Structure 1
Amino acid sequence: MGLNYQHNFKNNDARLLTLAYKASTNTSLNSSDFSVLPLLNYQGRVSNTRNDDRTREQTLQLDYVQPIGKQTLEMGLKASFERNGSNYFYQTRDSLTDVFVLDPRLSNNFSYEQAIQAAYSSLIIKKNKWRLQAGGRLEITRLDADFRTSGTLARQHYTNLVPSLNISRQAQRG
């Protein structure tokens, strides 16, 4: 699902305010049954797997464009949130009891969350056939992963400042 809104200002239609929201959800359930036949020194087995996977993502973005004479100032904010989870089971049939037994070494249950918030700005200066765009983006990221089967937690939180510079010249025709 996505919603977008754009506002043009009456006094200057090059001045824009844009708001966008996007949400998505995906779930899937996959399973497999398989048999390995005995061959030479390898013992055969009957196994099955199941994976229950869920993903949910939301993004919110606000952009603003402000002409200043022949120059243009662009600013924006963006927030993105993602949550994933997976339950993966691997089972092998016990030949004596004919019951499927979970193999924890090959199974995994985990969740993953990612949150990114960003603010960005750039100034575009035009002079004759030349164009200079200078700006930057400040981004804060948080990642959390929980591998419940193994009891392992992984967390990273960091901040990045990314400057940008673009110089271009319009090609001559002819």
Structure 2
Amino acid sequence: VTNTYRQFKKLWGSEAKERLDHHRHPLAFDQCITLESHADHLQLVNRLASTSEAAIVVAASGMCEGGRVVNYLEALLPNERNEVLFAGYQAEGTLGREIQEGASEVDIEGKKIKVKAQIHTMSGYSAHADQSDLIRFVEGINPPPKEVHLIHGERMAKAELYQHFARKKTNIVL
């Protein structure tokens, strides 16, 4: 992903482009390493778990349900010196939500893992639209859609959207 970002500088935002103008490439500094192979990833997980080395690990995986983030969580959650920062929403019923809501122990790949790390959440970085955004989007479609399918989301949130659109006489499919 990092290499892809590097290739598409022309699409970067103004802040990143300004840094480039001052010879401060946002993705080029000695402490930034990218891991290309799974073996490199596992080596880093083991190193971080067995040392007190400071590190910021950016590991993307939706809701912490798979991918490399699972290895990092298993290795780093038990240490109170570590911190996990969620960049927004974690869906109900996922490992990410369980951690986010303050579980003292979680199940990761069949192992009970104590959660001693500090857990934080930043809001505003989620790609999920909130209810008002969804309503504004649907009501802005011209001509109005014949039906709206509510597929993804938590049960209560979908029920509220259903009620809103039902009052507007929009055909809703759950």
TM-score by length of 1: 0.21
Higher strand proportion, which one?
1
Higher helix proportion, which one?
2
Of the two, which has the highest radius of gyration?
1
